[in-house]
Amino acid sequence: MLTSLALLCLLLNPLQETATQREAAIARAVARVAPAVVAIETSGGTDVVGQPATPGGRPGAPAVRRGTGPTTGLVVGADGWIVSSAFNLANQPASIIVSAGGRRHLARIVATDSSRMLTLLKIEANGLTVAEAYPANQIQVGMTSVAVGRALSGAAADAPPSVSEGIISALGRIAGKAVQTDAKVSPVNYGGPLVSLDGRVLGILVPASPDAEGATAGFEWYDSGIGFAVPLEDLKRVLPTLQKGVNLSRGVLGVTMAQGDPFRATPKLTGVRAGSPAEKAGLKAGDVIAQVNTISVATQGQLQRQLGPLYQGDKVSLEYLRDGKTAKIDQLELMAPEISRPLAMLGIAPLRDTDGPGVVIRALVPGGPAEKAGLKPGDRLSALMRDQGPPMPIPISDRAMLASLMESAEIGQTLKLVVRRAGADPAPKAEEKPKDGKEPAAKPPDTVAVTLAARPADLLMKPTQAGSALEGKPEPQPKAEGEGQPKKAETGTLERKTASGDGRYLALVPANYRPDIAHGVLLWLHPSNRSRKEDLTTFLQAWSELAATRHLILLAPQCPVESGWTPSDADLIRESLEGIAGSHSVDRRRVVAHGVDQGAQMALHLALTGKESPAGVAILNAGWTGTVRDKIPGRGTAFFLLVGATDPTRPAVQDLFNRLYQKNYAVISRIINQANASYLDAAQMAELAAWMDAMDTL
């Protein structure tokens, strides 16, 4: 027995010594960096991020008032230069106090790097300790990382900072701008250093997300084991610019690409912003980016990883494909992201599912630019005449391309459209064919000048014409067995798992579904405690008649817990949408996130923080306490806000409407007069369905 115990002690002793050595190494690393880690206190902000706590709710997204409370910073200049995360400073707090060197200093904001969400502060001090940076190209996955914060230890110079140990779990995250760690990261150590075992700084801790943008993106991963840090070396390269008071923003080409899985979608351009560096360099819709600075890119994600770390004013060399031929651009200077601006309007609702190239007009906005220019329903817009260069028309392949052109257009701009008039070339009857057997020459198309107007934010088209060109036409006959006939699409109520197997969703596909007709998707985000199959089925059935009439698919992801949605459920929702889009014909321009209560909050989160925003959001009795971000070109989510006349959320809904309107989003609001409006009546549901049917109005 004694021999066995002695052997066990001998085996455990090296492990105990290793653990002790590791603790000692961490202590030495923290002691080395601690003098450069400062506490920051702010006050005066108004934005609240995170969701309010609910009984039994999941942790990870508590409500925190941005611009108020303690956080952390890092000394980057001995004469009073401090860097911190923009999270607690983005709202321009009235007061910023930095505790450094045993004293409290009043600080001012000098500049912000909005690409990496870092803010540079200045205090009047000298002789501060500056941390040493770890070489960014030597950071490796698996190495020990220690997250250090000062917020909880106050101003005392000798007080130990807070410490959380982990490893580097990934490199090149957040479009190539950050490293990932599994150390616990929270608002109290945002802005603090992520440190190696030798006490050098790997990076500066920031809330970030691969699926969202802005100062609070990634906040929902608070203390989750997923944290991000911007390499300190990257900051030091631009520190002299920030010290001059110059704000930095990420550099963009000025192009748009079709939404889709960034890890699979080809980097094919769907639009080029007028006046952008891309347009000046000759890039056009349809071009496919193949290389950035001699590095090959095959997907949108790979392209973003090459462009992500770059700033406005940086220059890149590109190689792209056009019509099967390779072309190059040298030293293209990147521009800053666009701020929100009013959308220009052509004034047409396009007909969907048409044959051949071009866009057929389904309906006209009364009094809109297209109607004033003499365009009619049934006219086909086939090309756009160039303003400059050779008089060669630019073909309009489909409505997605026309939508991209409209995103780039300016109010007051005149477009010269090549138009083939409705019924201009009817097929001649057999008895009317000329005796010589020759077909009559086709009538040349017209060129129509249309001067674009500002799109009203509350535009609501209600076309009486069918949305699909195939409406009322017989469905193509399926091929006989053995001829490669695809499996017939399922209809009715479907119950499925997501591709990852981590989530479940229900869908209702109308019985009249046709794979050759693109269907809109109403994405129902149920309120808390309403995730049972019976609850979701009841909702789907209530919409079934409208779904058949308006060619809609109803989609209802199931929240994994009864307490309700949190931002981390965005992946489950995205996988549910991709699942139904993989088996059925989906019109991405008519995907609407719809919800009440907590489901409405989740819909707003997807639209206002997510990278893949839904085309529309329709919510009942819900406001938004977070920031309304600038509208992103090519991703202009439309909003339909409904609220009960006596509902306590009415002021918050009005506030959200005002803020969306100021940011130039398309937004409509409706007051529901019936008492206890917990959901919509039949007339309100019909109006919402009509809004969805005309969401692609241009």
198 found inside a domain = yes
pLDDT exceeds cutoff 80 at 60: no
pLDDT value, residue 202: 95
578 and 642 assigned to the same domain: yes
pLDDT value, residue 240: 95
Give the mean pLDDT of 592-620: 89
What is the Cα–Cα distance from 682 to 165, expressed in whole angstroms? Answer: 56
Question: The domain that contains 101 carries what CATH number?
Answer: 2.40.10.120
pLDDT value, residue 36: 93
What is the Cα–Cα distance from 557 to 540, expressed in whole angstroms? Answer: 12
User: Pairing mode, if any, of strands 504-509 and 492-497?
Assistant: antiparallel
Give the mean pLDDT of 551-570: 88
CB 77 within 8 A of CB 59: no
One-letter amino acid of 1 = M
Beta strands (DSSP E) in 389-435 are 394-395, 414-420
Q: What is the DSSP letter of 250?
A: B
pLDDT exceeds cutoff 90 at 121: yes
Dihedral Cα 215, 219, 221, 222, nearest 10 deg: 120
Percent of the chain with pLDDT over 70: 82
- Name the helix (H) or strand (E) containing 167: strand 162-172
Residue 169 CA: distances (Å) to CA of 181, 182, 228: 5, 6, 10
pLDDT exceeds cutoff 70 at 95: yes
Confidence band (pLDDT; 50, 70, 90) for 79?
very high
635 and 521 assigned to the same domain: yes
499 found inside a domain = yes
pLDDT value, residue 204: 95
Name which of 216, 205, 217 is nearest 47 in CA terms: 216
What is the Cα–Cα distance from 76 to 571, expressed in whole angstroms? Answer: 37
87 found inside a domain = yes
pLDDT exceeds cutoff 70 at 213: no
506 and 614 assigned to the same domain: yes
498 and 630 assigned to the same domain: yes
pLDDT value, residue 57: 38
pLDDT value, residue 571: 86
Start-to-end CA span in the chain (Å): 85
Both tokens assigned to 530 = 């309403």
Q: What HEC string does 452-488 produce?
A: CEECCCCCCCCCCCCCECCCCCCCCCCCCCCCCCCCC
79 and 201 assigned to the same domain: yes
pLDDT exceeds cutoff 90 at 75: yes
- Least confident range of 284-298, 449-463, 469-483, 645-659: 469-483
Q: What is the DSSP letter of 298?
A: -
198 and 313 assigned to the same domain: no
479 found inside a domain = no
One-letter amino acid of 616 = G
Alpha helices by DSSP H, listed for 379-446, are: 399-408
168 found inside a domain = yes
The dihedrals phi and psi of 43, each to the nearest 5 degrees, come to -155, 155
124 and 233 assigned to the same domain: yes
pLDDT value, residue 63: 45
Q: Which of 333, 364, 382 is the last residue of a domain?
A: 333
- Least confident range of 36-50, 420-434, 559-573: 420-434
Question: The domain that contains 620 carries what CATH number?
Answer: 3.40.50.1820
Strand partners, 417: 384, 448
pLDDT per residue as tens digits for the range 514-541: 888 889 999 999 988 888 889 899 999 9
pLDDT value, residue 482: 53
152 Cβ neighbours under 8 A, 6+ residues apart: 70, 162, 188
Hey, how many other C-beta atoms are within 10 angstroms of the C-beta on 488? 8
Both tokens assigned to 249 = 């923003």
698 found inside a domain = no
298 and 380 assigned to the same domain: no
**Average pLDDT of the chain to the nearest whole number:** 82
313 found inside a domain = yes
pTM here? 0.69
pLDDT exceeds cutoff 90 at 23: no
What is the Cα–Cα distance from 370 to 96, expressed in whole angstroms? Answer: 53
Strand partners, 230: 204
- Least confident range of 65-79, 187-201, 306-320, 597-611: 65-79
User: Pairing mode, if any, of strands 348-350 and 359-364?
Assistant: antiparallel
The dihedrals phi and psi of 690, each to the nearest 5 degrees, come to -65, -40
506 and 641 assigned to the same domain: yes
pLDDT value, residue 286: 82
- Least confident range of 243-257, 390-404, 496-510, 580-594: 390-404
Overall domain count for the chain: 4
pLDDT value, residue 65: 44
388 and 452 assigned to the same domain: yes
What is the Cα–Cα distance from 615 to 586, expressed in whole angstroms? Answer: 12
pLDDT per residue as tens digits for the range 322-372: 888 899 999 889 988 776 677 788 888 888 888 888 889 888 889 999 899
CA angle 478, 484, 488 (to 5 degrees): 50
Parent domain of 90 = 29-52+59-243
Give the mean pLDDT of 228-246: 94
What is the Cα–Cα distance from 677 to 653, expressed in whole angstroms? Answer: 14
pLDDT per residue as tens digits for the range 490-503: 888 999 998 888 88
Give the mean pLDDT of 207-235: 68
What is the Cα–Cα distance from 83 to 334, expressed in whole angstroms? Answer: 25
Name which of 225, 283, 280 is nearest 257 in CA terms: 283
CB 668 within 8 A of CB 458: yes
430 found inside a domain = no
106 and 177 assigned to the same domain: yes
Q: Which of 243, 269, 287 is the last residue of a domain?
A: 243
| 471-478 long-range contacts, CB within 8 A, separation 24+ | 471/517, 475/514, 475/516, 476/516
What is the Cα–Cα distance from 85 to 70, expressed in whole angstroms? Answer: 12
612 Cβ neighbours under 8 A, 6+ residues apart: 211, 259, 574
Question: The domain that contains 449 carries what CATH number?
Answer: 2.30.42.10
pLDDT value, residue 441: 60
Q: What is the DSSP letter of 582?
A: H
Give the mean pLDDT of 139-167: 81
pLDDT value, residue 427: 45
pLDDT exceeds cutoff 90 at 74: yes
481 Cβ neighbours under 8 A, 6+ residues apart: none
Helix axes 598-608, 570-583, angle to 10 degrees: 80
pLDDT value, residue 16: 59
Q: What is the DSSP letter of 377?
A: T
Q: Which of 310, 333, 356 is the last residue of a domain?
A: 333
pLDDT value, residue 192: 92
What is the Cα–Cα distance from 257 to 250, expressed in whole angstroms? Answer: 17
162 and 271 assigned to the same domain: no
What is the Cα–Cα distance from 428 to 439, expressed in whole angstroms? Answer: 9
Spatial strand order of the sheet with 315-322 comes to: 295-296, 288-292, 315-322, 325-333
